[in-house]
Amino acid sequence: MRAALGKVLCLGKEMFLKQAFALSRVTAARESPTCAVGSTLLSCNRHYRSQPTHGIGRFRHLLPLELSKRKRDRIRMKEISAGSDHAYGDLNIQMTAYDMCLVEHFAQYVHKLCNRFSIRVIESYAMPTKTTEVMVMQEQGSRLYPDAVLTTHQRVVQISGLSSTFAPVLLEVIQSNQPEGVHLSVKEHTEADFKVRLKARPELEELMAQMS
């Protein structure tokens, strides 16, 4: 029944269209219709680009310029600030644990804490998960058999511009709120830390070795 109704409606619309064409041809000579009262099918020859309201919803020109990123340009290391006598440079707060929810919640907590203290957080990322298989010696025999599979998760929060007078306070707060099972370490950010995140490209390395 619905299909039949639909067919009826379509037919009705087609007839309507023909009538509208006829109407618009008649009226185009006199004036161009500026308003579309009722159905938009009434005015099919819309001169919308010439109307004063053209571009009424434009917003793209208000957004900040986004430079087009080629794939090769995207991965570029940010400048690692060295730090002065009174402030640390880029620091990595690394949190490692076997329990993913725990380490993620702790990383979120550290991030929010730094926001609260107005410490600039540059990045907050995760390192790839490492899977460890725990092998246990069999009691009767000398064969190793797999006992458990452990996954190690690491989250890193990178901060910058930590003043030397505030650093002990921040470290103590983070340490005293450290949950059980999470290993915490605060290190200075180096290029090696950045390179560890990138995938190794064996073909490229091979070609470079061949070239040189």
Partner 1 sequence: MALWCGALWPMGGKMAAPMQRALCGAAVPWRWALGPRWLAAAAAPRWRLVGALCLQRPPSITQALSPEQEEMAQLVHQIEVEKSNFSDHEIRRLAEEEQLRKMKDNIQDEEADSGQAIVLAQDLEDAWEQKFQQFKAGPRITDADKRNDRTSLNRKLDRNLMLLVKEKVGNQELWLLPQAEWQAGETLRSTAERALATLSGNCIQAKFLGNAPCGLYKYKFPRALRTEGSVGAKIFFFKALLQSGDLPQAERKEDYVWVSRGELGDYLKPDYLTQVNRFLMDQ
Give residues in contact with partner 1 (CB under 8 A): 164-165, 167-169, 171-173, 175-176, 179-180
Tell the burial category of 156 from Cβ atoms under 10 Å away from its Cβ (0-12, 13-18, 19+): buried
Neighbouring-strand partners of residue 80: none
* Residue whose CB is less far from partner 1, 72 or 86: 86
Q: What is the CA 178 to chain-centroid distance, rounded?
A: 27
In the complex, what is the shortest distance from the CB of residue 163 to partner 1, in angstroms, rounded to a whole number? 9
Q: Which two tokens stand for residue 98?
A: 């076997």
How far from each other are the two terminal CA atoms of the chain, in whole angstroms?
77
CB of 184 to partner 1, least distance (A): 12
Q: How far is the CB of 177 from partner 1 (least distance, A)?
A: 10
Q: CB of residue 185 vs partner 1: minimum separation in angstroms?
A: 13
Given strand 144-160, what is the order of strands in its sheet?
A: 120-137, 144-160, 90-97, 183-188
Q: How far is the CB of 2 from partner 1 (least distance, A)?
A: 38
Angle, helices 167-176/100-116, rounded to nearest 10 degrees: 150
The token duo for 204 is 């490229």
Give me Rg for the CA atoms of the chain: 33
Q: Which is nearer to partner 1, 80 or 102 (CB)?
A: 102
Write out the two tokens for 203.
């073909």
